[in-house]
A = this chain, B = another copy of it.
């Protein structure tokens, strides 16, 4: 294991062999393959991969604000704004304001969007099953657990915000 305190430059050859094993690279390929395969199914219901991510959260928690939705889905607000415009246009959500706090916009699924869950949720399960073919339950759980640990590590570090400044210097 590389020690974090070791900041001395090493010859690049040391990094060459690691590149294909990079967690960043591997997770990018997994994400993209997964997403493409799922979208092949959801598009048959006129739902894009981007829209799917918001619908998925709303099935679990209808009537939350845009900000809450952004946080849950892991997107920034401008992304949410654009996505919701599309969803509203497609007749999948409605947006409501209240007098209690006139800054907030609450998002509600339309009946059609609620019905879509019955078709789309199994598609996700199906792709997940394909992705984990030939793996035992224990292996799948370990993969999930390791990914969550990586996420925790990275989000802790992102919070600190000053990680690479000593390399830059």
Contacts and interface: CB of A to CB of B under 8 A. Distances in A.
A146 B143 contact: yes
B128 A154 contact: no
Contact of A24 (B28, B38, B158): B38
Interface string A133-169: 1111101101110111111011101100001100110
A154 B127 CA distance: 8
Contact of A153 (B19, B119, B133, B148): B133
Interface in A37-56: 37-38, 40-41, 44, 56
Contact of A147 (B10, B30, B36, B126): B30
Interface stretch (A1-9, A84-92, A94-102): A1-9
Copies of this chain, complex-wide, total 2
A22 to B, nearest CB: 6
A64 interface: no
A94 to B, nearest CB: 21
A164 B120 CA distance: 11
A129 B121 CA distance: 35
Nearest to A72: B20
Interface of A: 1-2, 4, 9-10, 12, 14-16, 18-19, 21-24, 26-38, 40-41, 44, 56, 59-60, 74, 117-119, 121-137, 139-140, 142-144, 146-151, 153-155, 157-158, 163-164, 167-168
14 contacts: A12-B117, A15-B124, A15-B125, A23-B132, A26-B148, A27-B27, A29-B74, A29-B151, A30-B147, A30-B154, A40-B164, A123-B164, A131-B154, A134-B149
